[in-house]
Structure 1
């Protein structure tokens, strides 16, 4: 083997390892989604939260392998195993694994909004549609094989392509805005609003909620940094911008949320969601400002959603992922500018157009899928099952079985 071949092989194997480590870190984030939901719902719905997240992950894995990834990138794995390795030592396979972790975020995000009163199998089916078709279609228009169709328009109108380095819009905004129709069709949990007055329902476990936030925050550095795709493209700027946005979100939520632990731990996520899009362009202080604003959006947006609009979005996924993901797309167009110390080469108009397009796409798909399901098989548990809790009604066991031994 000559030196060139050895160098090429080493580069390919390094890229495979690099992306595989990123995939494992983002895979771990799904444990974060699970514990965040488990800590937020009541004890009678904790088992359901765990099973939903794992089931949605498993279904998404198959749906994205067979349909979604080929739809987004034009690469099919329905060939003999010897052909899957190719000349790049299976880079496409581990790239699928990495991007699967993004696609599976869509049903994981939705899960938190519809918690405690949604039927199990209709949501599993909805998640399969989103992972196989809905998300990959938009992914293909921004990152994938059909990017020229939409990106050429943005470049022609706004002067630059729509930029979303790690998915503020493509992943989080899409997931959060799809969740909104689901929450609206389901309606509030029993007892959440009585005769027009708000009655917040207690959460079960602050330590679990905090654990979920920590797991997500750690995994997020795989989410953002490994979005480079190749080891030679890794950026220390992305890592530090993610860090500064996260702590900006924490400190902002600490003040605006008046020391509330739920807001503080979700504040970290708010900052990380918002910085995804422009993490490769911003100055760290711009990322810090992006995180500060993101947390303000969540603290005041959550209150507005729950108390003014009376939308019972259990984990606040619409403001956290939907609205803040949208803010992230626009923030990249602001703090990515040289005026604010950014790298430049970005257009605020293009960022706004791309963000609005994602919102419209998500809402149309959310209302279509959940509208059809609600009119056919139904998406809400019966009053009796909701009162008993999804754990006993769906899984026939509680989170603490010894409590039911008499």
Structure 2
């Protein structure tokens, strides 16, 4: 009887993890359509292909290298051995965390869209997932006792270890800050600014596709956050409601600050969800609402600032959306997680601040090393002719709407 109950619990955990993995996997379709709806029509095929190819490459490198670095687990035993331990739970746990790891190149893709070489960027994404991301993941969630473990130096310094329940910092901040480096090294798209520095905005191409991408990400985020509990016994409704309130806060604040702009509104939802990942299991729903709302302000104002003042051609605004909002999420966990503000009190502001800033340093250093090296070896940018033609034709030899071209000659 006891054995049957244990088997049932294990089976439930395997199913729970598998469903979470599938939900977060579906988010990658959201990344794809968010980019498709933002870039020009001549680069829409490329956006779709990049996301699915990057996910596939990440699967291989995370399986063979990254997961071992982060958790010290290898998958080279027989299939019989792999399923013997908790009915293959470690396998679906890998699948779940793979979908997190693969978000790194998906995030970067939106920042450097429309001018990056396909294969060079695929290689860059593989290197980030295999080494930079997995190293930091291991420091927070895995076997490398440095930031997030009870015995880490940070736990001794701040009283509590660095806490990132579902990846505000580990996933989003890392991806967003690496993307910033890519944007800087690549430079702006042709025509984005004139020789005199005058801005020539490139409009969003398809609001319905952008909105579809946002909706797909919002729905999948409940797998991202809630199922980070990793087991049925660990799941809590607090995470689900905090995710909801942060998303709503992001939407409403973006609505006001962004003056009804649909791009800001749909990305405001994502900014709120990015920021709440870290403390979704720690803060009160009202705190989550303001965490998400402040993240939306960060995105709207940050996007305008980087485009108009810094002249950074970050196409989807992934640096403020994921990088800065992710950093804010890590720090906000240490603020709103305190009992004085209705939180559970299991976090330290000092630890959250230090851990969040270390992530920025790791991302920026690895980003420059990888992009500068690849640029010197192979070049990371399309030629002027290829960029003007569009990556759909220059890379994939097919446009998103070929029938329109055919109709010109019929």
User: Shorter-chain TM-score: what band?
Assistant: over 0.9
Structure 1 residue 224: Cα displacement: 0.1
- Tell me how far apart the structure 2 counterparts of residues 369 and 250 of structure 1 sit (CA, whole Å): 35
Q: Structure 2 matches for 1:101-180, cutoff 5 A?
A: 101-148=99-146, 151=149, 152-180=152-180
Matched, 1:227 2:225: no
Task: Tell me, yes or no, if the aligned pair for 2:147 and 2:161 is still in contact at 8 Å.
Answer: no
Equivalent in the alignment of 2:393 = 392
1:54 aligns with 2:52: yes
The corresponding residue for 2:30 is 32
Q: How many Å apart are 1:148 and its aligned residue? A: 4.7
Aligned to 1:210: 211
Provide Cα deviations, 1:43-90, integer angstroms capped at 9, x if missing partner: 000000000000000000111011111111111001111001123000
2:42 alignment partner, SS class: helix
Q: Give me the whole-angstrom Cα distance separating, in 1, the residues matched to 2:275 and 2:210.
A: 20
* Residue ranges of structure 1 left out of the alignment (5+ in a row): none
**SS of structure 2 residue aligned to 1:49:** helix
* Equivalent residue runs for 1:320-331 within 5 Å: 320-331=321-332
1:190-238: CA deviation from partner (whole Å, max 9, x where unpaired): 1101111111102210000000000000000000000000001101000
Structure 1 SS opposite 2:316 = coil
- Give the drift of 1:403: 1.6
| TM-score, scaled to structure 1 | 0.99
Aligned-CA RMSD value: 0.8
Contact 2:147–2:154 (CA under 8 A) maintained in structure 1: no
- Judge conservation of contact 2:70–2:134 (CA < 8 Å) in 1: yes
- Structure 1 match to 2:86: 88
Tell me by how many angstroms 1:147 deviates. 2.7
CA distance in 1, matches of 2:92, 2:377: 38
SS in structure 2 of the partner of residue 232 of structure 1: coil
Under a length normalisation based on structure 2, what TM-score does the superposition of the two structures give? 0.98
Q: Report deviation, 1:345.
A: 1.6
Unaligned segments of structure 2, at least 5 residues: none
- Superposition deviation, residue 157 in structure 1: 1.3
Match of 2:280 in 1: 279
Deviation track 1:353-390 (CA, whole Å, cap 9, x = no partner) reads: 00000000000000000010111100010010000000
Which residue pairs with 1:340 in the alignment? 341
Say which SS state the counterpart of residue 85 (structure 2) adopts.
helix
- Mapped partners of 1:282, 1:312: distance in 2: 35
User: Hey, what's the Cα distance between the residues in 1 that align with 2:226 and 2:79?
Assistant: 30
Deviation >3 Å, runs of 4+: 148-151
